[in-house]
Amino acid sequence: MKAIIFDLDGVLVFTDKFHYQAWKKMADKMGIYFDEVINNRLRGVSRRESLEIILERYEGAPLSEKEKEDLMEYKNDYYKELLKTMGPDDVTEDTRNALKLLREQGHKLAIGSSSKNTKFILKQVAIDDMFDAVSDGTNITHSKPDPEVFEKAAQFLGESYDNCVVVEDAYAGIDAAKAAGMTAVGIGDATSYDKCDYKIKSLMELTELFK
């Protein structure tokens, strides 16, 4: 039996549009140009690194550490307001059924997400009881492509890295999985990345791949 570690945003739920709206609000306040192309570069990247990417377009006086903290808080407060509009319907039937079936097949399931809002999101969409472990932005010091978030997930599960499968939508997440010596399954955007061991269109395919 395998331990299957799921990335959250872009795999189980789709919060891209909320990240975009919240970063856009912050960028507009600061007079910084921001668009969906820049937003795509933030996928799987930590909040702090996301801010630095957005600030590449900032032309004002240098910002202090405190000002940067305030900007991240401003963004996250609005992002959390948007997350409150999510509910159980924001997880597809396919995803719900796949998680249920994988558990019935005897696999251990975990989350490996860069997001510090992971537990809040899992509760909002009512899948918080489907996982044996949650490793997220609150328990790591290095974000993807560093393997730490997935290594911690494996440690929480008590599994060896080579028995773990990671399901990811971001190139940085596939790199992180391979750096940990895990099997990397790409979905969504990551299916165009040649480092994936497997590429899937739907999570239900996992129940066949790892029967």
Binding site for Mg ion (CB under 5 A): 7, 9-10, 44, 169-170
Q: Is position 9 annotated as part of the catalytic site?
A: yes
Nearest CB to ligand B16, comparing residues 10 and 186: 10
Nearest CB to ligand B16, comparing residues 95 and 117: 117
Asked if 42 interacts with ligand B16 (CB under 6 A), we say yes
Q: Is position 7 annotated as part of the catalytic site?
A: yes
CA 65, CA 3: separation in Å to the nearest integer? 39
Could you say which of 5, 26, 38, 45 contacts ligand B16 (CB under 6 A)?
Answer: 45
68 burial class (0-12, 13-18, 19+ CB within 10 angstroms)? middle
Name the strand (E) or helix (H) holding 184: strand 183-186
Asked if 91 interacts with ligand B16 (CB under 6 A), we say no
CA 139, CA 201: separation in Å to the nearest integer? 30
CA 78, CA 148: separation in Å to the nearest integer? 28
Q: Which does 108 bind (CB under 5 to 8 A by kind): Mg ion, ligand B16, none?
A: none
Name the strand (E) or helix (H) holding 165: strand 164-168
Report in angstroms how near the CB of residue 180 gets to Mg ion at its nearest: 16
Nearest CB to ligand B16, comparing residues 46 and 207: 46
